[in-house]
Amino acid sequence: MSGSSRRRNRNRSSNRSITIGGTSVAPGERTSIDLEMGRLYTHTPTVMPVQVICGRKAGPVLFVSAAIHGDELNGVEILRQLLKLPVLDRLRGTLVAVPIVNLHGFIQSSRYLPDRRDLNRSFPGSERGSLAGRVAHLFMREIVGQATHGIDLHTGAVHRSNLPQIRADLDDPETLRLARAFGTPVILNAAIRDGSLRAAAAEHDIPVLLYEAGEALRLDDFSIRGGINGILRVMEALDMLPATRRKPPPEPVVARSSGWVRAPESGLFRARLDIGQRVTRDQSVLGVVSDPFGEREQDVRAPFSGLIIGRSNLPLVNEGDALYHVARFYRTDLAAERVEDYQESLETQGVPPFDEEEAPDAD
C-alpha cells in the first residue's frame, strides 16, 4: 500500500478515547482533569492540572509539559495561549497538555520540590519513593505511558537566559525530523541524562523534544511566541493539524557539542555580548571581570568559535562561575544568520492565526 493510501485510510479512521486519572475522554471531546497528587501537611489536596483534546480522527498522542522545574514559567504561558487557538478544533489524534507538572515548586517559585530533589533527575520514579519519585511515577503512568511523542518546555535557570533552542537526541531519525520541524535557529545534540524525562521516555521509544528559551521566573514574549509556533509546526509534521501556506522557518543549524565559558577569577562581571551573537576563538571578548576599584581587570575570551546560546545575567561572579554557554560551530556566520532570520520571522509573523482562508479543513 502506498504512503498516500495509508494516509487516506488513517484520515477515515476514528480516534480512540483516552483515560487519564480515571476520566475517559472520547473522540471529539475536550476535558480538564485534575490528577490527584496527595495532600500538603495542611491537609490541602494537591493536583496536577491536565487538559486533554481528543480529536475525532485517529492520529498520534502528543503530550506537552511545562514547569517540571517549578520556577520555569514560559512554558505555562505557551500552553495557555496554545490551548486558545481555534485550529485545535480540527485536531487529529490527541493532545495532552500539562502546564504545571511540579506544582509544589510552582507554588514556591522554586526549581525543586520540597524534598530538594530535581524532578527532572527523578524519572521514571516510584510509587513508594520520595515525593519527587512519586510525582515522576504519576506523570509517567498517566501521561507519558499513553503518548507517542512529547515536547517538554523549559527555560534557563534563575539569572540565566537561553536563546530559543531545541535539545534532543539527534541520532534518532524521528526525533531529528521533529526537531527540525520545530524551527528554532539552533538544535543542540544533547546527551540523555539519567533520571531525566527524556531518558524515561526513551525507554518506551517515545521521542521527546526539549525546548529551552528565556529565563526562570520571567515571561518572555519572544520565547513564548517561538514556543507556540514550534509546537504547531511539530503537530503539522505529525499530521495532527492541517498544513498551512505560511512561509516555513529558516533551516536550523545543528550543534553536536557545546561548552560553558567560566569566570577566570572573582569580581564584577561586565558582559559585552548577548545570546545569539557569534564568537571567535581567542579573539572575541565576552566580558571583563574586575575588582571593585578597577585596579585589576581580566578579559573573558571565547576558548572556541561558536554561537552564544545562554548567558548569566548576574554581575557578581566567583572564580569558576558559568558565564556563557556557547554552541560549537565552524560556520559561525551561518549560525548567526539563522538567529537573525528567526527573530525577523517571529517579529513579522507572530503566532499563526490558522483562519479558514489560510488552512484547509482537516477532514
Q: Are residues 18 and 57 in the same domain?
A: yes
Asked if residue 210 belongs to a domain, the reply is yes
Q: Are residues 145 and 263 in the same domain?
A: no
pLDDT at 363: 37
pLDDT at 41: 87
Asked if residue 363 belongs to a domain, the reply is no
**CATH number, position 267:** 2.40.50.100
Q: Are residues 191 and 270 in the same domain?
A: no
pLDDT at 349: 67
Q: Are residues 233 and 247 in the same domain?
A: yes
What is the number of structural domains in the chain? Answer: 2
Asked if residue 20 belongs to a domain, the reply is yes
pLDDT tens digits in sequence order for the chain, 363 residues long: 444 444 444 456 999 999 999 999 999 999 999 999 989 889 999 999 999 999 999 999 999 999 999 999 999 999 999 999 999 999 999 999 999 999 999 999 999 999 999 999 999 999 999 999 999 999 999 999 999 999 999 999 999 999 999 999 999 999 999 999 999 999 999 988 999 999 999 999 999 999 999 999 999 999 999 999 999 999 999 999 998 877 777 789 999 899 999 999 999 999 999 999 999 998 889 999 999 988 899 999 999 999 999 999 999 999 999 999 999 987 888 888 989 988 888 887 666 654 444 433 333
Q: 213, 234, 253 — which closes off a domain? A: 253
Asked if residue 352 belongs to a domain, the reply is no
Asked if residue 297 belongs to a domain, the reply is yes
Instruction: With beta carbons less than 8 A apart as the criterion, state whether 307 and 162 touch.
Output: no
pLDDT at 12: 60
Q: Are residues 194 and 337 in the same domain?
A: no
Q: Are residues 151 and 38 in the same domain?
A: yes
pTM for this model (two decimals): 0.92
Q: Are residues 218 and 280 in the same domain?
A: no
Q: Are residues 289 and 215 in the same domain?
A: no
Asked if residue 65 belongs to a domain, the reply is yes
Q: 216, 234, 253 — which closes off a domain? A: 253
**CATH number, position 51:** 3.40.630.10
pLDDT at 333: 84
Asked if residue 353 belongs to a domain, the reply is no
pLDDT at 272: 95
Q: Are residues 166 and 220 in the same domain?
A: yes
> Residues 124, 94, 3, CA angle at the centre, nearest 5°?
105
Q: 253, 275, 305 — which closes off a domain? A: 253
C-alpha 52/C-alpha 55 separation (Å) is: 10
Q: Are residues 274 and 140 in the same domain?
A: no
Domain that holds residue 301: 258-344
